[in-house]
Amino acid sequence: MQKTVVSILCWLILIGSGCASESARVDTGSPEGSQAVIVHLESRREVVSIMSGYEGLIYTVRTKGGRILGQHLSEQELQVKLPDIYHFLKTSYADDGRSVVVWAGM
């Protein structure tokens, strides 16, 4: 079970970092302005864009169909507005076989 979760998370990170084929990418809409996008994480139904803001991380959540569920949310706003997505992000990690990198939204 744990190896399956790790494999899925690694696959999501590869897609988010642009290492997958163009056809596997999800349209995340228009660029987020001057904020640098760190990663796009994809779940079964949503795509979470994590960006670097002036006061920390900023989250935008869209459905795979393109509907915006939350835009330019701080971590606290994400926790209140979309608790399932917040929990997904806080419990995510990646494993490259040599070491475990804990994401935990930091």
pLDDT tens, residue by residue, 76-104 = 999 999 999 999 888 876 666 666 555 55
Tokens of 87: 């929990």
The pLDDT assigned to 31 comes to 47
Residue-averaged pLDDT of the chain: 75
Strand order in the sheet with 68-73: 36-42, 46-53, 56-63, 68-73
- The pLDDT tens digits of the residues spanning 26-79 come to 554 544 456 788 888 888 899 999 999 888 899 999 999 999 999 999 999 999
Average pLDDT over residues 20-28: 47
In the DSSP assignment, the letter for residue 81 is H
pLDDT at residue number 20: 46
